[in-house]
Homo-oligomer: A and B are copies of this chain.
Amino acid sequence: MSEDNFIFDTIAIVGVGLIGGSLGMAVKKRRLARRVVGIGRTEQKLMRAKILGAIDHYSMDIEKGAEDADLVVVCTPVSLIAPTLQRMAASFKAGAIVTDVGSTKSEVVRQAESVLPEGVHFVGGHPMAGSEQAGVEAAFADLFLGATYVFTPGGNTDFNALGRLTELADAIGSNVEIMTPDDHDRATAIISHLPHVMSAALLGIAEQAQHESGKVFALAAGSFRDLTRISDSSPELWRDIVFTNKSALLQAIGMLQGSMADFKLALIENDEEAVMRFFEQAGIIRQTFQRISK
Contacts and interface: CB of A to CB of B under 8 A. Distances in A.
Interface residues of A, number: 87
A105 to B, nearest CB: 11
Contacts of A198: 198, 202, 227
A159 interface: no
A286 to B, nearest CB: 5
A62 interface: no
Nearest to A148: B219
B219 A128 contact: yes
Nearest to A270: B243
Contacts of A243: 267, 270, 272, 275
Interface stretch (A114-122, A135-143, A249-257): A249-257
A52 interface: no
Interface of A: 128, 148, 150, 177, 179, 183-184, 186-188, 190-192, 194-209, 213, 215-233, 235-236, 238-239, 242-243, 246, 249-250, 252-253, 255-257, 259-261, 263-264, 267-268, 270, 272, 275-276, 278-283, 285-289, 292-293
Given A192-B224, A223-B230, 16 more contacts: A186-B213, A190-B206, A191-B221, A195-B227, A198-B227, A199-B282, A206-B285, A206-B289, A220-B289, A226-B227, A226-B229, A228-B289, A231-B279, A235-B280, A239-B272, A239-B275
